Structure 1
Amino acid sequence: MGGEESKPAAPSPFFSTAWRNIAWGDSGNQKALQYLKDYKPETGGQKLRILLHGPVGAGKSSFINSVQSVFKGKIYRRAGVDNMGADDSFTKKYTTYRVQKEGPKSSYPFVFNDIMGLEIKGVLVDDIKLALRGHVKNNYTFNPVSKLSEKDPFYNKSPTDNDKVHVLVCVVPANTVADIKHAVVQKIREIRMEASDLGIPQLAIITKIDEVCPEIKEDLKNVYRLKKVKATMEEFSVKVGIPMNCIFPVKNYHEEDNLNRDIDSLILSSMKGIIDAGNEFLDELCQCDSD
């Protein structure tokens, strides 16, 4: 007579080692933050324009607020955020956000543009294409049934290099990647094709990673050791075509009253990827202009 057969152990949710390494902690954060603060485009007066797009409720505005928080050293809430879980986009206008330096009238040489979500009642792909080319003026209110007309006062007929987009960033929540609507995926792919034609680099931010993995709530530094996080990123990569090394998982500041060094580490890592990609694009533009 033998005892009960022992059940096989559940597979571990972790890889044995992290599959991507970033510099965690205060020392790494200070180095990364200083790198971003020291960034300066080769062309004087040039601003690196970062356009965020994605589904409703993805965390685009929250990501902007999170970046601002890291740079300011305190929680920042300027970009409007909706917590109602509605299907309609809380962001209605084409809004530019600058990251202010310590001085009152000085800002870093990169800006964010936040736009309406990509749902059926959301922003039109044609309007995003116009924004990529610099034809959409700040504070334009998106119309989900009619694209911006050349006769509209918010249509920029003669965009400068500063008006054009230099980095396109798709923001998607981790907890919806598996169920992302086909129509939204098609919009993302169409926008990507237009950006590719213009040579604009494309990255992605996967938000709300703590909502799909309880191990992250225990320790955010588990992010690159968790099999589920990598699988979620891989699934999104396959759906929209953005390479894995251009996808960054983050946790935005949402309910926190104070900064968290591990949240900062992920925000800074994603921002370094965005700035580096955008700067390479600007360098290529400068070379083309000098030829």
Structure 2
Amino acid sequence: MRAFFAKQPQLPPPLLDAPWREINWNDKQSALQHVNDYEPYIEDRQLRILLYGPAGAGKSSFINSVKSVLEGRMSTLALVDNISHDSFTKEYTTYKVKKENPSNFYPFVFNDIMGITQNKGIVVDDVKLALMGRVKDDYVFNPEHKLSEGDQYYNTTVNPNDKVHVLVCVIPADTVSQMREEVTKKTLEIRRAASDLGIPQVAIITKIDKACPEIKKDLKNVYKSVYLKEMMEQLSVNVGIPINCIFPVRNYFEEIDFNDDVDSLTLRALRHIIDFGEDFMNHKMSQSEGSHK
């Protein structure tokens, strides 16, 4: 007697046969050298990188990871909270990265801002002001009120180094599919404001080892993971950032020693962020020169 069984849908393999994005895991030094050699084409310029995203996404951890890799020692300057579900970052702070000696710094800085949450979190208008260089260091974000002209932390005199040159959206891979509507709405609003200013935008996907067991086993599976590729595609659809501007990273958070694979992903993302920002600065300069002819 012949038995009939409904054909079960075939589940996608956990790993692709080949990575869909190439990365040379044995060539960390060339990426590090690229960052070390970077000097803005425009003299006395400083590249400003603004990080934003949901509370707990790993913005501060990414800054710490970059500082750790470039300074050669584990950094915890940007404070991180592993307990609270609200935003731990309350103040607008500029983070510099030391280069070679304590008095010399890389020609780029990071700004970390209060996280986006469903009900509280950062006021979108404050992010817009930060993009334009209107927010001074140590400004304490207030979820109820936006910064306004006349406030002591409102920057009335803006120079080119105050303005943001790259906007980085930081999203945790383990919660991409659960992004609340209000968080997505605020993210899109911030993206539109940056687009109006012509500011390039990228996304960093964090906590990739928590989202995919295969990546937790071996970080080199990052671009073979079917699940992570789908998450990146979903993020691209949700917030409109192209796939080639989305970079997965695995921040340092429990280690006391360095890992070359972690460093390679961090440096790869940083290299692209720097390149995008440099292109933007040069473009703005050429526009300014053209307007004076």
Query: Any idea what the Cα deviations from partners look like across 1:18-70, whole Å, max 9, x if unmatched?
Result: 10011212xx1111011011111111110000000000000000000000111
Counterpart of 1:98 in structure 2 is: 96
Aligned-partner SS, 2:102: coil
For the pair 1:50 / 2:49, whether they are aligned, the reply is: yes
Give the letter aligned to residue 73 of structure 1. G
Percent of aligned positions that are identical: 56
What TM-score comes out, normalization by structure 2 length? 0.94
Q: Can you give the 5+ residue segments of structure 2 that lack an aligned partner in the other structure?
A: none
4+ residue segments displaced more than 6 Å: none
Counterpart of 2:30 in structure 1 is: 31
Of the structure 1 ranges 197-206 and 98-107, higher mean CA displacement relative to structure 2 is found in 98-107
Displacement, 1:8?
Answer: 9.6
Query: Any idea what the Cα deviations from partners look like across 1:68-87, whole Å, max 9, x if unmatched?
Result: 11101221111100010x23
Counterpart of 2:147 in structure 1 is: 148
Aligned-partner SS, 2:230: helix
Displacement, 1:10?
Answer: 5.8
Counterpart of 2:273 in structure 1 is: 274
Separation in 2, partners of 1:253, 1:134? 30
Aligned-partner SS, 2:263: helix
Separation in 1, partners of 2:184, 2:12? 32
Separation in 2, partners of 1:236, 1:223? 16
RMSD across aligned C-alpha pairs, in angstroms? 1.8
Give the letter aligned to residue 15 of structure 1. L
For the pair 1:63 / 2:76, whether they are aligned, the reply is: no
Q: 1:214 to 1:148 in 2, by over 3 A?
A: same
The number of residues matched between the two structures is 287
What TM-score comes out, normalization by structure 1 length? 0.95
Give the letter aligned to residue 168 of structure 2. V
Displacement, 1:12?
Answer: 2.0
Q: Can you give the 5+ residue segments of structure 1 that lack an aligned partner in the other structure?
A: none
Counterpart of 1:244 in structure 2 is: 243
Aligned-partner SS, 1:162: helix
Separation in 2, partners of 1:37, 1:102? 10
